[in-house]
Amino acid sequence: MKAVSSLSSLLACASLAAKGALAASYDDIPTVEVYGQHFFYTNNGSQFLMKGVAYQQNYNPNGTSSQDNSTYTDPLADADACRRDIPYMKQIFTNVIRVYAIDPTKNHDDCMAQLASADIYVVADLSEPKTSIQSDDPSWNVELYQRYTSVIDALQKYKNVIGFFAGNENVSSGNQTSAAAFVKAAVRDSKGYISSQKYRTSLGVGYATADVPTRDDLAAYFACEPTDAGNQTAIDFWGYNVYSWCGDSSYSASSYGERVEFFRDYPVPVFFAEYGCIEGIDGGATHRPFTEVGVLFGNMTDVFSGGIVYEWFMEENDYGLVSIDGDSVSPYPDFTSLRNQLSKVDPTLTQRSAYTTSNSAPSCPTDSTWEAKATPLPPSPNSDMCNCVVQNLECNIKSDDEDKYADVFDFICGAGKDFCDGIAHNATTGDYGALGGCNPKAQLAWVANKYYEGNGKSSSACDFSGLATIQSASTASGCSSFIAAVGTDGTGTVASPTGGASGTASSSKSKGAAPGMAAPAFFNFGKPLFVAYVTIALVSAVGMVAL
């Protein structure tokens, strides 16, 4: 059953103003900034509480990279859809939307202007389905850096952009905590990029977590700052995807009270990045009563900054608030419930002038079940460095067929651990090679060259069934410092880039070239498996040397 809106006349008014007036709206809207544990409007210092909705069609945000979910619809590039939906969003008091993936090559001016004219802000995820930090095989590399910085470039000019999520539910189980190190490196480099480009200082970078057993350690890890360099690696805000309040639950039964107490001393804003349970609802998924709204915008506002309902569009998962048919919007009953609940809230707001920050960064997790070291973090991907190093090698990879890379990686790293130190990315031990963020072809070139050198520079040691070739090493202008920083073993520290990834990043996700496969999986997970693999590799070494 659908509750059909009687306010269809709003659609006729959705154009709001001429394009010239709309174009100025995202320049004129006051920015929202983080100060201590809260968000504040910069024009009057009033506290900003999120009354939001997730706005993304044909996308399943799950913290993983999936070949089955490789396409998406950019919600900020469809001005007509924004014109259709915004009047209905305002009926449920929307002041922020969350988008999970945008296409940075498209123009977003029209939709962003419409949103700004309606006083609606945006929090955007930086990844996209094919380019994200994978939970079970994580890395932080040139391709990801290029994607993240391109989204920042595309959206930074709009003053109604509050900030970005560097990851979403990348850690969903206890054996995935090492992935947190790569997401935190992404936070660091995204913040560093915003600063280096002199973009708006109010742009924040955060993380959105699932409600998982590791949530407390996750919260501590992303907010801790183990160095004395300020808050360069700490998140600016924390998003919580929470579905524990189902139907007519309560403050205690939903564990909302426990979450409030846990985050009471947290140093940055916390909000529900997703909420709206559909389990056990009388009448079915489209009849959510949203009774949690009164609590979220009631006694929780001294700690939590509101929340974002999941979600606008009705998809196969049944979480949609509305049904879309062309230009027609038909709200479901829970749309009306949400509107009614929000219409009754009257939260007490804090003024920035009357607020003093007092919460300090938490300690980094130290329990034995937490796998990600707080320091060092994975190095910043630097495509200029990657290109310089490859030019300076004597054995290079000429084939772009990444399906063939995995066997060569496995053989070389099995034949000698030192050959692959330069591409290591082990968050558990904190061992990272300088080339751990390069694309697979560059990484394979490095290890192939090390193997070539280790075997007396024999021509047969630089072939690998035609994948490799001997070249004249060269040092291009500006490359000397990179090569010196990398070092002969590839474990040196290279300066962070100050711009976007200028090199060509691999876009492939083949079996031999997935981001986490750049260094063979066995190489990251401890000595016993490595020793076993070396035994196998040595047995077959005679046959492989001639490849």
- Please compute, for residue 203, the number of CA atoms within 13 A of its CA located in the half-sphere on the CB side: 28
Catalytic annotation, pick one of 128, 225, 274, 402: 274
Residue 394, amino acid:
E
Distance in angstroms (rounded) separating the CA atoms of residues 218 and 69: 26
Strands (E) across 389-530 are located at 395-397, 425-426, 431-432, 468-470
- What tokens appear for 55 in the block? 């706005």
3-class SS at 276? coil
- CB atoms under 10 Å from CB of 169, counted, come to 21
Distance in angstroms (rounded) separating the CA atoms of residues 373 and 158: 36
Distance in angstroms (rounded) separating the CA atoms of residues 235 and 232: 8
Give the CA dihedral 366, 371, 375, 376, nearest 10 degrees: 160
Active-site annotation holds for 274: yes
Short-list 157, 70, 165, CA closest to 124: 165
Element holding 531 (H helix, E strand): helix 527-539
Give the CA dihedral 446, 451, 454, 460, nearest 10 degrees: -130
3-class SS at 368? coil
Distance in angstroms (rounded) separating the CA atoms of residues 423 and 425: 7
- CB atoms under 10 Å from CB of 98, counted, come to 28
Helix axes 440-454, 383-391, angle to 10 degrees: 30
3-state SS track over 201-266: CCCEEEEEEECCCCHHHHHHHHHCCCCCCCCCCCCCEEEEEECCCCCCCCCCCCCHHHHHHHHCCC
Catalytic annotation, pick one of 169, 225, 311, 371: 169
Active-site annotation holds for 258: no
Instruction: Specify whether the CB–CB gap between 27 and 100 falls below 8 A.
Output: no
Q: Determine phi and psi for 529, rounding to 5 degrees.
A: -65, -35
Instruction: Specify whether the CB–CB gap between 371 and 49 falls below 8 A.
Output: no
Residue with token string 């021509």: 459
User: Given 3-state DSSP classes, what are the helix, strand and coil percentages for the chain, each rounded to the nearest 5?
Assistant: 35, 15, 50
- What tokens appear for 90 in the block? 């305002």
Q: Determine phi and psi for 310, rounding to 5 degrees.
A: -105, 115
- Pairing label, strands 32-35, 237-242: unpaired
Residues 134, 137, 139, CA angle at the centre, nearest 5°?
75
Cα distances from 272 to residues 139, 211, 292, 313, 399, in angstroms, run 27, 11, 12, 19, 47
Distance in angstroms (rounded) separating the CA atoms of residues 42 and 164: 18
- What tokens appear for 450 in the block? 């090390």
Q: Determine phi and psi for 9, rounding to 5 degrees.
A: -65, -20
- What tokens appear for 509 in the block? 């996700």
Supply the residues annotated as catalytic.
169, 274
